[in-house]
Structure 1
């Protein structure tokens, strides 16, 4: 049972609490670069990347490292603990192998605690709480950057049957600690937005229900209050970019059961942020908000947050595109139509699962006025026309270096035939697609499911190119994409 009593306070109390800790939070944000673990700068991190860091942590005074289990493939699951307080706070990350943002933030937090800075605040925290980190619960999934574990199951739906060794480890650690607070750390799709807004749900929260009735007892209420507190912090740095998950009870889920078992469960999901493909700004927001929440738990001040602060967070919605083209004129069979085009850019892992390329798709067409884009182009007055193939077949890939790709785009060309395309090439590093001699260009129709490659022209002159879902403004030569495609 928690030693904290749920208490009802006014929003004025919340603002007072926030002002009280504002200096601490501001300093955390401003000094973040000093503690960021630089070796973990990309999302596709592996178990082997973490082990030297954990070994180093174990050598530091005040830190304790214990192996608490292992994955199906035998990778060690290690728990890192620090602090002397009576309140146990348990954080676990990456139970889905392709959700690493908070794993990176955990090592930033560990660097913070290992530094000599913020000595007064850290003394207050560690005197009151004991913090336990279980990073990368699903290392086998992380190895191949997939959601599920080697058994092929979603660990987050294994709380009842406990078939996976990873799930059994999580349950055993929670039970042994009888933790009063649990932070369940995930990534969500970048296509979530805060309901009825164009803002991405950069961070989403949930205090999971522990029964179908969605009752709120002291345990769940405390989770709600901590989330309300963290939301106030995130609003300073990503205003309007916070969402709240639907709280329908899922009896197989760990979060719901951990709430039922008496630990105040706090789900944090890292979503999207403009121009932050590797989620490094979101990682920073995790670092600041989690540390601030731990500080509020240590002081007990979170009980001053009214439950209304949780309920006021807008629901998650899923109405974002990477690129939205609106109000384009689409000529078809002798007539003209007005359409919007919604484009997403799914990632495809490269061999070794250390990097990726984009294979973009048109995911919706028509009236998309209730949807939003990370980038939106009003194409009023522009006609959507198909891309052309370069009239000359290049003798080799080396000949590509002599091309002026902007000139090709100005001529409405987005496909270039090349003899002897290397078999290992899966994507094109250029702003045009590379195609084989046998390739037949698309017939010009725009359809859901196809690769988004077309031009927007005015008075017969291309002004915008969309190639593999990336937008290029031809007159100013502005625009950049990670890759185009290779079609054989």
Structure 2
């Protein structure tokens, strides 16, 4: 009788804890804007952007801030710790300089922890755990918005040789803390989709393998269970948009080795979300996901997660384009062919790496029936024609402002020649390309690698224009256009 009563009491406590967990995670999403760090709202953040925030955090007695080393170019790398618990959790972000989404989310988490809200839940976290953050592990890469560090190596492939100071710092922190859990925070390509679906892999998770056989032990299983918990949370906000990253063992990678060294390693990859170029919605999902994981580790109820759910998370696939055009007719050497086109809008950084413009490319063509697009046009019955150069020279930007661009596009013109091109920026903000006086547009041949600029005609009428990979509906004016290009 006593045994039955005890079991019922345990189940009751589990239910109460589960309900409290569910309530907190819902609140994290709902109240996010209270804690969002407003000074970090674009992806191209730099080391100097973080220093005032770290300085202010250091003044709060809740946190301990310690400089733990420098990058190759001499930028400081800080460890920010909070909590008094026996379970050590290490979180590091931006070991790839062009993957900043989680760095922003970390500073949102600091704001949450500094606030007076949710005191009981935070007490549970900070009494059970000690959290250690290494935000922006690769500040030199972040400075020029590139994956690699100033030595030109991928820090995430430096766990074995430890050639880089940044890699040595991460290894030293993991070892000195003997971290129980480690969160490896990255961005992945926006072109990943959840396997066999058109949905982007907005967030992908992985409990990395620690050997080629992909064996599991208690360390990896704990990581898998935390992933299962986070997946359950995010399904509420991005149903079907969570993926599982490839778990092939990579003996040079930090995540795989950290798992092998005895820390339950969890990879979080931030992918794509429709209309979220600066990944601010995905940043919010990172915030909710990471804090929820921290809370379940503090409560210990991640241990109740069914391990078999981990393998049911769809694997990442890479079958998304920014724009997919289905079934367009393309005429070549007197014959008509039916083609699908896959187009991606590739970012080109400005000289100071503070912003970017798009220079798009045809990535694939032919039968793309197993691929998807963030935007898809069924071009059945439409013929694809190269755009033409407007026959009159426009003398100035003032004169260009008077030109009816929509009329030109409907007439099949996709280029305007100018007597004097603007000196900056490098891109044209109008939905048409600008040409210098001496520039000759190459003969059009539809092939992988070209800039996608053409018109789509049906019944002798141009209905759509594609300028630098952006689709413009000429009958409705509907567009989400960013920039054309300047050809000097």
Give the TM-score taking structure 2 as reference length: 0.96
Distance in 2 separating the partners of 1:223 and 1:438: 60
Separation in 2 of the partners of 1:211 and 1:444?
Answer: 50
**Residue 92, structure 1, aligned to residue 92, structure 2:** yes
* Distance across 2 between alignment mates of 1:157 and 1:129: 29
Residue 116 (structure 1) aligns with: 116
CA distance in 2 between partners of 1:109 and 1:405 (Å):
46
- For 1:420, the equivalent position in structure 2 comes to 420
Q: Which residue of 2 aligns with 1:5?
A: none
1:204 aligns to what?
204
After TM superposition, the structure 1 = structure 2 runs for residues 374-453 of structure 1, keeping only pairs within 5 Å, are 374-453=374-453
- Whole-angstrom distance in 1 between the partners of 2:360 and 2:370: 21
Report deviation, 1:61: 2.4
- Would the aligned equivalents of 1:425 and 1:486 in 2 still touch at CA under 8 Å? no
Measure, in 1, the Cα distance between the counterparts of 2:445 and 2:21. Answer: 57
Q: Are positions 1:358 and 2:358 aligned together?
A: yes
Shift of 1:14: 11
Separation in 2 of the partners of 1:39 and 1:87? 31
Counterpart in the other structure of 2:168: 168
Q: Does residue 474 of the first structure (1) align with residue 456 of the second (2)? A: no
CA distance in 2: counterparts of 1:264 and 1:164, whole angstroms: 24
Alpha-carbon contact 1:14-1:305 (below 8 Å) kept: no
1:487 matched to 2:487? The reply is yes
In 2, Cα distance between equivalents of 1:343 and 1:16: 50
1:81 equivalenced with 2:81 (yes/no)? yes
Cross-structure match for 1:338: 338
Separation of aligned partners in 1, 2:86 and 2:249 = 30
TM-superposed deviation, 1:83: 0.6
Structure 1 portions without partners, runs of 5+: 1-12
2:310 maps to 310
CA spacing shift, 1:438–1:16, aligned 2, 3 Å: farther
> Equivalent residue for 1:151?
151
Q: Secondary structure at the match of 1:237?
A: coil
Residues 359-379 of structure 1 show CA distances to partners (whole Å, capped at 9, x for unaligned) of: 000011100000000000001
By how many angstroms is 1:15 displaced? 10
Do 1:14 and 1:306's aligned partners in 2 also have CA atoms closer than 8 Å?
no
Aligned length: 476
Equivalent position of 1:107 in the other structure: 107
The residue aligned with 2:216 is 216
Task: Determine if contact 1:339/1:367 at 8 Å carries over to the other structure.
Answer: yes
**1:128 match:** 128
Contact 1:426 1:485 in 2 (8 A): yes
Question: Can you give the 5+ residue segments of structure 2 that lack an aligned partner in the other structure?
Answer: 1-12
SS across alignment from 1:132: strand
Pairing of 1:269-348 with structure 2 (within 5 A) = 269-348=269-348
Aligned to 1:10: none
Distance 1:234 1:33 in 2: 18
Q: Distance in 2 between the 1:458 and 1:360 partners?
A: 24
Q: Deviations over 1:299-319 (max 9, x none)?
A: 000000111111111111101
Residue number in structure 1 paired with 2:254: 254
What is the rounded CA distance, in whole Å, between the counterparts of 2:174 and 2:424 in structure 1?
Answer: 46
Deviations 1:372-396 (A, max 9, x none): 0000000111111111111101122
CA distance in 1, matches of 2:418, 2:294: 57
CA distance in 2, matches of 1:145, 1:443: 34
3-state DSSP class of the match of 1:330? strand
Using the TM superposition, give the Cα deviation of residue 423 of structure 1 relative to its aligned residue in structure 2, in angstroms. Answer: 4.6
Shift of 1:41: 0.1
- Structure 1 residues 419-428 or 123-132, which shifts more? 419-428
Shift of the alpha carbon at 1:439? 2.4
Higher relative contact order (CA 8 A, sep 6+): 1
Residue 419 of structure 1 deviates from its aligned partner by 1.2
In 2, Cα distance between the equivalents of 1:420 and 1:58? Answer: 52
For 1:230 and 1:15, the matched residues in 2 are separated by 18
Whether the aligned pair in 2 keeps the contact of 1:394 and 1:400 (CA below 8 Å) is yes
Q: Shift in Å at residue 420 of structure 1?
A: 2.1
Equivalent position SS for 2:233: helix
Q: Does 455-464 or 19-28 show the bigger shift?
A: 19-28
TM-score normalised by L of structure 1:
0.96
SS at 2:377 equivalent: strand
